[in-house]
Amino acid sequence: MDYLPLQGSLQRPCRARRRLCVRLGAQQTHSHAQEEDQITRQQRTLMKPFYDRYRLLKQLLSSASTPQFTSSVEMSGTPVVSPLDEGKTFHAQIITMATLHEASRYSFSAYRQELLDHLRMVRLEKRRLHQTLQEFEDRFYAQTGRVCQKEDRGPMAEEYCQYKNLKAKLRLLEALLSKQDSTKAS
């Protein structure tokens, strides 16, 4: 849920207060400013548990470092007051450490397999581009009698750029896999 429109509605009374300050003087509107501060303080304290829970869940999700575990969310029996329906309660979804561990164990192998598949495809694409660039350099050498320089790569600039990006992606994938291997071992 987005609570930003609430902030915009809090700015309107401030404009009205400024207009009143000009008309009536600052003394009469001082109590109005305190009232506004009290309202925003109450709203902040009302929203604090939701933001704390959001931060906790975000921290738990990022510490697990697995992208697929939304199916392992359990329903909690703890009622939480909704700011929209003050009288009604709903059951919040809470991710427990046990379900996170279970989800990370399941999705670790799926995520690793996905990384390995992606690594295989990137290697094939890199090999194909390498052959294309090698053929271009061989043709260039046959035509000119000299080795292809950086400034001679103009017609194949896009392929060289793709090759460079694939090499970087390959290094990244290998680093991710080696990091997972080291975390799995420890």
Query: Could you read off the pLDDT tens digit of each residue along the chain, which spans 186 residues?
Result: 444 444 444 445 566 666 656 666 555 555 656 666 676 777 777 777 777 777 777 777 776 655 444 444 444 444 444 444 444 443 334 445 555 555 555 566 777 888 899 999 999 999 999 999 999 999 999 999 999 999 999 999 999 999 999 999 999 989 888 887 776 666
Q: Is residue 169 part of a domain?
A: yes
- The reply to whether 106 and 181 lie within a common domain is yes
- The reply to whether 110 and 176 lie within a common domain is yes
Q: Provide the token pair at 141.
A: 């050498």
Q: Give the model's pLDDT for residue 3.
A: 46
Q: Is residue 181 part of a domain?
A: yes
Backbone dihedral angles phi then psi of residue 75, each to the nearest 5 degrees: -90, 135
SS3 74: strand
Query: How far apart are the C-alpha atoms of 178 and 165, rounded to whole Å?
Result: 20
Q: Is residue 152 part of a domain?
A: yes
Q: State the residue range of the domain holding 173.
A: 102-185
Give the DSSP H/E element, type plus range, for residue 38.
helix 26-64
Q: Is residue 166 part of a domain?
A: yes
Amino acid at position 117, single letter: D
Query: How many domains, in total, are found in the chain?
Result: 2
Q: Provide the token pair at 78.
A: 């703890």
Q: Is residue 54 part of a domain?
A: no
- The reply to whether 108 and 39 lie within a common domain is no
Q: Is residue 138 part of a domain?
A: yes
Query: Given 47, 65, 80, which residue is the final one in a domain?
Result: 47
Amino acid at position 82, single letter: S
